Amino acid sequence: MFDEIQISKAIAEAYHRKVLNHLASDVIIVGAGPSGLTAAYYLARSGLKVTVMEKRLSPGGGIWGGGMAMNEVVLQEEALQIADEFGIRHVRTAEGLHTADSVELACALCLKALQAGAAVLNLLTVEDIRVQQGKVNGVVVNRTGVYPTLHVDPITFSAGAVLDATGHEAILVATLKKKGLFKSDAGEGPMDAMAGEAFVVDRAGQVFPGLWVSGMGVCATFGGPRMGPIFGGMLLSGRRIAEMIGASLAE
CATH of the domain at 202: 3.50.50.60
**What was the pLDDT predicted at 12?**
99
Task: Give a yes or no: residue 234 inside a domain.
Answer: yes
Instruction: Flag whether pLDDT at 161 surpasses 90.
Output: yes
50 lies in some domain: yes
pLDDT score, position 35: 99
Between CA 180 and CA 119 the distance in angstroms is: 31
Domain count, the chain: 1
* pLDDT for the residue 37: 99
Q: Is the pLDDT of residue 200 over 90?
A: yes
**Is residue 73, in this structure, part of any structural domain at all?**
no
pLDDT above 70 covers a percentage of the chain that reads 100
Residue 75 lies in a domain: no
Q: 143, 146, 110, 124: which is closest to 36 by C-alpha? A: 110
Full residue range of the structural domain in which residue 194 is found:
27-68+104-250
The answer to whether residue 223 sits within a structural domain is: yes
| pLDDT value, residue 184 | 82
pLDDT of residue 186: 82
Asked whether the predicted pLDDT for residue 219 surpasses 90, the reply is yes
Residue 196 has pLDDT above 90, yes or no: yes
pLDDT band of 54, cuts 50, 70, 90: very high
Band of the pLDDT at 115, cuts 50, 70, 90?
very high
Q: Is residue 6 part of a domain?
A: no
pLDDT grade for 155, boundaries at 50, 70 and 90:
very high
Q: Distance (Å, rounded) from C-alpha 109 to C-alpha 119? A: 13
- pTM metric for this prediction: 0.97
Question: Is residue 192 in a domain?
Answer: yes
Give me the pLDDT at residue 244, please. 99
Question: Residues 98-117: what's their mean pLDDT?
Answer: 99
Q: Are 116 and 52 in contact (CB under 8 A)?
A: no
pLDDT confidence of residue 185: 78
